[in-house]
Amino acid sequence: MSKASLVTLPGNASVEQVVEIIERDGGVIIADFLTGTAFQELKQQIDAALDTSTFGHENFFVGTSTRRASRLFARAPRMVDVVMHPLYLGAARQILQKPVSVWFGHERTTITPQIQIGMTQAIEIHPGQGKQPLHRDDTSFLWRHPQYGREARLQIMLAMTEFSEKTGATKVIPGSHKWDDERRPEPEETVDAEMAVGSALLFIGSTYHGGGTNSSDQARQGLTMGIDLGCVRQEENQYLSVPFDILKGLPEEVQRLLGWDAGENFMGWVEQGGKMVSPHTHLQSEDVLRSLGLVGGMH
């Protein structure tokens, strides 16, 4: 029996095509996801962020020949282009924002969940780094399959350098998003997400994957980010990761995606004069901390 493979779609594919393949296979590659000036500037910003990082401290998961850098919305203005890409954000909305019906007394109502940026990370795998253990990214939420009946994350892995088997391309098990939690992933079930520079792998949190072995003579650099359900805790603490002065300069939709929002299901509100209001109300103040009633104001 031959292994399933990853489908590659062109950058001008429709959101519907992208979602259809992700829901069938667990992931899809988008060719030429980010190109031109936007990609070149992002590459420079990611390089600068990684240059501040040291190699990992353990070789089971993070890798002792791998450099990582996060807090990327504070360090890389071009991250806006990645999260606002219509195929990524559009697919995340379709996959994650599936309405839920609930009772309030005798009233039946439908709530559409929010989405949010859960984590950001640049990952640079250097020659000699061995492969990661296969894992699901929704393990952060202790997600259960198939009991929960929905997805919690749509992840992206953007190829900042070429992704090949030799350079340690991400290994993926297509179809593994349909497995229960008892089935163990095996290395021989994986395929390599081989991509040209600027292409991107989109995959859901329930798909088994892991970084590959870099047997080449050059570093493999990728940029990853998760868009998650708004009712789970953000894996990376975005409130402490992005300073207010940078946050205020981002588009409003990105501010809200970073967590400065409150949903229909009463998630994320801040009390103001006895009312439960969106934190975005305070973000518009000149002095955010003073607006929130916290001592000291902004420094």
Give residue-wise pLDDT tens across range 67-99.
999 999 999 999 999 999 999 999 999 999 999
pLDDT of residue 165 exceeding 90: yes
Torsion angle, CA of 225/229/230/234, rounded to 10 degrees?
-40
pLDDT band at 297 (very low <50, low <70, confident <90, very high): very low
Sign of the four-CA dihedral 280, 281, 283, 289: negative
pLDDT of residue 14 exceeding 70: yes
Residue 250: C-alpha distances to residues 79, 82, 92, 122, 287 (Å): 10, 13, 20, 20, 17
pLDDT band at 296 (very low <50, low <70, confident <90, very high): low
Phi and psi at 289, nearest 5°, equal: -65, -40
pLDDT of residue 295 exceeding 60: no
CB 146 within 8 A of CB 204: no
Grouping H, G, I as helix, E, B as strand and the rest as coil, residue 183 is: coil
* Block residue for tokens 């939420």: 141
- The CA-to-CA distance between both ends of the chain, in Å, stands at 62
pLDDT band at 182 (very low <50, low <70, confident <90, very high): very high
CB 194 within 8 A of CB 31: no
pLDDT of residue 299 exceeding 80: no
* Block residue for tokens 């109502």: 109
CA–CA distance, 110 with 263 (Å, rounded to integer): 13
CA–CA distance, 20 with 41 (Å, rounded to integer): 32
Burial of residue 216, with CB atoms counted within 10 A of its CB: 0-12 exposed, 13-18 middle, 19 or more buried? middle
pLDDT of residue 152 exceeding 70: yes
pLDDT of residue 279 exceeding 70: yes
How many residues are recorded in the chain?
299
Flag whether the pTM goes above 0.75. Answer: yes
